[in-house]
Amino acid sequence: MDLKSLDIPPEVRQELEDFAAEVERLEKGEVSEEEFKRFRLQHGIYGQRQPGQVQMIRTKLPLGRYSTEQMIALADFADKYSNKVLHVTTRQDIQFHFVALEDVPQGLQDLAAHGITTREACGNTVRNVTACHKAGTCKEETFDVLPYARAVSRFLLRHPLTQNLPRKFKISVGGCNGCGLSPIHDIGLNGVVREGQRGFRMVIGGGLGSSPRLARHFSDFVAAEDLLRTCEAVIRVFDQHGDKKNRNKARFKYVLDKYGVDKTRALVEEQFQKLEGKTFPAIDVPGESIPAIRDFTPNRDFDNDPDFKNWVQRNTSPQRQDGFYNVHIKLQLGDLTSEHARVIAHVVDQVAGGQLVNTVHQNIMIPWVKPDAFGNIFAELKKIGQHKAGTEELKDMTCCPGSETCNLGITHSRGLINQLTEDVENLYTGSNDLDAISIKASGCPNSCGQHHIADIGFSGGAKKVNGVLAPHYEMMLGGRISESGAQFGEHVVKIPAKNVPLATRRTVDAYKRDRKNDESFPQFYDRVGKGYFGELLSDLKELPSITESPQSYVDYHSTEKFTLDDRGQGECAGAVTDMITDHLSEAERALFQSTRAFEKELIADSVRQANRSLALAARALLVTEGMDFEDNLETMSKFESLIVETGIVAETHAGVVERFQKDPESADADFAQGMIDESKALIDECRKAYTKMQTEKSLRIRVTDEIAEQKKKAPSTPGNGSATATAAAVDAKIDLKGVKCPFNYVKTKLKLETMNSGQKLEVLLDDGEPAENVPRSVQNDGHKLVSHVQDNGHHIIVIEKA
């Protein structure tokens, strides 16, 4: 296709040409996969878990809005390049999986021809700006926030400031009370009116992930004319003060942790003043207009159909414009086939306003529908099985892609949600008294499925049961969110994946049975407490033996025995040793102080020092995972999840996080003695584990099943002997730019431990200490340094594993 013949803006045309050229360079071996990675992420292209050049393509649909003509273009893309599935995300985008890299350039051109971009949908950029899906039509909104949200989106797209931020940055805009999800965004905006002037209440620094934070109050009123300037000022502060060296601490929420909200606000105000005199695009606020709707003949075939009446009750809501409704389409797992997309686009063209909106709940909404058109839409949806009633309810669950396609996924969250949805459909059919309960699941702790803000949330993980590693979920209860605030769900219990459906049923049934009056689930949870559910679900922590029930150890959507993928991080042998031994030595000093305080009957002081000892010992072993947290509670949480529950240390340490959080002032002598004993035992185990690692010259503490046979090792596949750092010459690559010593060595060594003897690893390092220390350290471990070249201020080394 000739790009010049298409009605595409020049800057977009140039991007497409650049992308196609870069893919060609990659195929010729002129650019490495790691160098190409940042480039493709900036264009919305993710690598998938599957081997080979298969990609996930994420479109960027500002505010989740698009036309029926664009939906047809997206369906065409799914047919030509993907697996015929359009996946709606929690950021109101549509993404595609299993796209061959060689097809991406042409696919991007096809999308661009219809005004669809993937630019900055991934990577360290400002991600898709989201907005309340009912904005512009909501009966409760203060004013229509869409023009302002569009202005923010247009202004920041391709903005030079947003091309290489420390990490991703997320913005939401809402006009009512909750659909915008402000408290979990880096910038959350909610429309307010002061003295007749439009503006926004702004919160900053929110985010989920493995260490969630609630956004902090920034301003009660940012005038609409200052909106773009204020957003740029906040992002400038993030760009200047975000930690670009440590990816784990790079989000904007950590800037607030470091400086506090008052100093951060002062830094933003300073940047705001520096932008005085800069011309910002005018925000066009058009008058309200009703889209043209064709004449149609109402379908009355379903007027007496109870399923239709139920669907109308639960899937439609009146707009603030008289005579019009929003109609919601429930998507299982957020998925829509290309065939179904075309059916929906056609009926929307025929009886509605030709517009579609993706919701943050992974559904699709049709605005501008007259009641006479309900039967027409229902009839078409019923033909394709998309007529299920109930969106944003118990039967409408949210999840991330999980380990089906995501490199970071631990469990098959999509398989779990499929099972839970089927259970709910079978058990609670016809009941709407439980509709307000929300269920969300993520395949790892990173909360892409937003499990922290659900009534019932699940976070994927792993744990040994009966000596066998099995897929597990951390069950969280009581999460909630509105524009005025949020509360993250509490960790209640960690249970095997195959026991989650029963745990969910028990939880819902208990709420239905024991609630008082019209208590919501969060109110019920607050009243009965964590202990109520802990006792209710305690027996579900167990599984029968693997010989009795082998399927109990197999994850959903899988037929193979569950295993953990390589999950390490890392940096230099001497420095790593120093970090571990320093932590352990300090742990022993804290243990000594705890014992002395106990002997003096200073119980609270004894517990505090025992806690400190535990945290330091935990930090020592987490170094082998490439992690080092200053926050003790975060340390203990990661330690229990990654070290205790996977069987690296004794099971007696299970529940250590809960004990760690007990108030020392309320502790008695027995509890203090128990903490002293546990600290001593953990230090001893850490010493033994570290000695074993040193003996085996390995940073990975091997986790083996005590019952199941170990899989046979794959035969060694030597490298091809070339000493050049090209894509054809190495078996694996790792980009360690920005990773400090000694963790760059840990990451290198852990990566080598996943490879076979004779294979080659290419490592990209910063200049200075990393380039000096890492090559020398791996050679000391007995590996061969094949080559070491300097390139654009960085160093590329190739290592052959011994």
**What is the structure's pLDDT at 424?**
80
User: Is the pLDDT reported for residue 102 higher than 80?
Assistant: yes
Using the predicted structure, report yes or no on whether residue 3 has a pLDDT greater than 60: no
* Residue 737 domain flag: yes
- Choose, from 176, 406, 448, 741, the residue flagged as catalytic: 741
Residue 40 host element (H or E): helix 33-42
pLDDT surpasses 80 at 275: yes
CATH number at residue 790: 3.30.110.40
Q: Partners of 335 in the beta sheet?
A: 87
Q: Are residues 540 and 599 part of one domain?
A: no
Quick check: bond before 742 cis, omega within 30?
Answer: yes
d(CA 330, CA 741): 49
pLDDT at 427: 75
Q: Which two tokens stand for residue 544?
A: 């029968």
| Distances from the Cα of 393 to the Cα of 328, 432, 474, angstroms | 12, 9, 22
Q: Which of 555, 502, 569 is nearest to 735 (CA)?
A: 569
Query: For residue 309, how many other CB atoms are within 10 A of its CB?
Result: 14
Domain boundary among 119, 150, 174: 119
Question: 317 lies in a domain?
Answer: yes
Q: 367 and 423: one domain?
A: no
280 belongs to a structural domain: no
Provide the β-strand partners of residue 174: 190
Among 641, 671, 696, give the residue marking a domain's end.
696
Report the run of H or E that residue 769 belongs to, with start and end. Answer: helix 769-780
741 as an active site residue: the answer is yes
**Assigned domain for 690 exists:** yes
- For residue 563, give the nearest of 715, 441, 709, 752 by alpha carbon: 709
Q: For residue 480, which of 511, 436, 448 has the smallest C-alpha distance?
A: 436
The parent domain of residue 489 ranges over: 399-553
- The answer as to whether 612 is a domain residue is yes
- As a whole number, mean pLDDT of residues 658-676 equals 92
Instruction: Report whether pLDDT(634) > 80.
Output: yes
Percentage of residues of the chain with pLDDT beyond 70: 90
pLDDT tens sequence across 471-489: 999 999 999 988 778 899 9
- Determine the residue type at 212: P
**Residue 414 counted as domain residue:** yes
* Residue percentage of the chain with pLDDT more than 90: 55
Better-predicted residue by pLDDT, 566 or 396 = 396
**How many Å from the N-terminal Cα to the C-terminal Cα in the chain?**
49
Is residue 569 very low, low, confident or very high in pLDDT (cuts 50, 70, 90)? very low
Which of residues 493 and 779 earns the better pLDDT score? 493
- Give the residue, 227 or 22, on which the prediction is more confident: 227
SS3 (DSSP) at 267 = helix
> What's the rounded Cα separation, in Å, for the pair 561 and 559?
7
CATH number of the domain enclosing 73: 3.30.70
Answer whether residue 718 shows pLDDT above 60.
no
Q: 450 and 514 share a domain?
A: yes
Residues 63 and 131 sit within 8 Å (Cβ to Cβ): yes
Q: Which strands form 216-223's sheet, in the order they lie side by side? A: 130-131, 171-174, 187-194, 197-204, 216-223
pTM of the model: 0.74
Residues 374 and 437 in one domain: no
Q: Which residue among 553, 584, 609 closes a domain?
A: 553
CATH number of the domain bearing residue 598 = 1.20.120.330
Examine residue 327 and state whether it is found in any structural domain, yes or no. yes
547 and 584 fall within a common domain = no
Longest dimension (CA), the chain: 88
Is a pLDDT exceeding 80 seen at residue 581? no
Q: Quickly list DSSP for 446-510.
A: T-TT-GGGSSEEEEEEEEEETTEEEEEEEEEE--EEETTEEEPPEEEEEEEGGGHHHHHHHHHHH
Rounded-to-integer distance, Cα 391 and Cα 522, Å: 19
Answer yes or no: do 47 and 114 share one domain.
yes
Sequence-distant (≥ 6) Cβ neighbours of residue 45 within 8 angstroms:
55, 56, 57, 58, 104, 118, 122
Q: Does the pLDDT of residue 632 top 50, yes or no?
A: yes
Report the alpha-carbon distance of residue 215 to residue 231 in Å, rounded.
15
Domain with residue 411: its CATH number is 3.30.413.10
Which residue would you say has higher pLDDT here, 348 or 778? 348
Considering the domain architecture, whether residues 538 and 409 belong to the same structural domain is answered as yes
Domain check: are 1 and 114 in the same one?
A: yes
**CB atoms inside a 10 Å sphere around CB 491:** 17
| 423 and 517 co-located in one domain | yes
Residue 226 is classified by DSSP as G
SS (H, E, C) 293-322: CCCCCCCCCCCCCHHHHHHHHHHEEECCCC
The CATH number given to whatever domain includes residue 351 is: 3.30.70.2500
Helices 306-315, 374-383: inter-axial angle, 10-degree rounding: 110
Q: Residues 379, 411: one domain?
A: no
- Do 542 and 411 share a structural domain? yes
Number of domains in the chain: 5
For residues 428 and 378, state if they share a domain. Answer: no
pLDDT tens digits, one per residue of 323-362: 999 999 999 999 999 999 999 999 999 999 999 999 999 9
In 3-state terms, the chain is what percent helix, strand and coil (to 5)? 45, 20, 40
On the question of pLDDT at 710 being above 50, the answer is: no
Q: Is residue 472 part of a domain?
A: yes
Question: What is the tens place of the pLDDT at every residue in 593-615?
Answer: 899 899 999 999 999 999 999 99
